[in-house]
Amino acid sequence: MTIKELVAKNRSYRCFHQEVIIEYEILRELIDLGRLSASAANMQPLRYILSCDSKKNALIFQHLAWAMYLKDWSGPAEGERPSAYIIILEDTQISHPLRCDHGIAAQSILLGATEKGLGGCIIGAIKKRELRDALKIPARYEILLVLALGKPKEKVVLETVGPDGDIKYWRDSKGIHHVPKRSLDDIIIGSS
Ligand SMILES: Cc1cc2nc3c(=O)[nH]c(=O)nc-3n(C[C@H](O)[C@H](O)[C@H](O)COP(=O)(O)O)c2cc1C
């Protein structure tokens, strides 16, 4: 796969074959991609919590919110939930004002997952206090993102944003998830 093909295949997936197990070692390999990614001032403040255990997965799941634009869908049903999670944390004792390391690490991890035939979704809508309590995460670590991972069960297709400018993703009657992306000409606002 070319980088473009990999990036295009790396969509946000929210329905999974929950019975497909993701081994702990696979999660470690994915986190290694985060470890190798860029970091502001090379401070490397990110820390990770892994979960591929069904009990821990269930605990994490209840503190996440899914697909805000799909008003009549409250998230994946039992049997279609993620097989694993990676929680991205920041060690507040070594944080840096230019905080975007977690986005870069998340993308590296998800590209790695895509390469392995897996998929996932970045979740920022997290009940952070509740998740911290549930997993007994020390105050020193700030919860930044949760990556939900699994073997995708849904089809996601990219569209071009129409003249009405609507960027909301939507699902059709066959359950296919459509994601509008702005055109290249719309996002390049200056050229030489
Ligand atoms: C920082 C960030 C936070 C996100 N948080 C959520 C979330 O809380 N819940 C969710 O279902 N999707 C979340 N997403 C996924 C976006 O909805 C998704 O990227 C967007 O719809 C475009 O789809 P695509 O990833 O397939 O291009 C998040 C994405 C990013 C980058």
Neighbours of 9 (CB within 10 A): 15
Identify the burial level of 29 via C-beta atoms within 10 angstroms of its C-beta, where 0-12 means exposed, 13-18 middle and 19 or more buried. Answer: middle
- Determine the Cα angle at 175 with ends 172 and 180, to 5°: 50
Q: pTM of whole model > 0.95? A: yes
How far lies 134's CA from each of 89, 121, 146, 175, in Å?
A: 15, 21, 14, 33
CA of 122 to the centre of ligand 1 (A): 5
Distance (angstroms) between ligand 1 centre and the Cα of 187 equals 19
Tell me, in angstroms, the distance from the centre of ligand 1 to residue 120's CA. 10
Tell me: the pLDDT tens digits for 125-159? 999 999 999 999 999 999 999 999 999 999 999 99
pLDDT over 90, % of the chain: 96
- Which DSSP symbol is given to 55? H
Report how far ligand 1's centroid is from the alpha carbon of 12 (Å).
6
Tens of pLDDT, residue by residue over 85-104, are 999 999 999 988 888 999 99
User: Three-state DSSP class for 123?
Assistant: strand
Measured distance CA(165)–CA(156) in Å, rounded = 20
- Give the mutation target among 68, 80, 109, 121 for probing the ligand 1 site: most ligand atoms within 8 A of CB: 121
Judge if the beta carbon of residue 117 lies within 6 A of ligand 1.
no
> Per the structure block, which two tokens stand in for 14?
């929210």
Question: Distance from the CA of 121 to the center of ligand 1, in angstroms?
Answer: 6
Q: Does the pLDDT of residue 185 top 90, yes or no? A: yes
- For residue 75, which atom of ligand 1 is closest to its CA? 11
Extract the tokens encoding 169. 């993703």
Give pLDDT, residue 96.
80
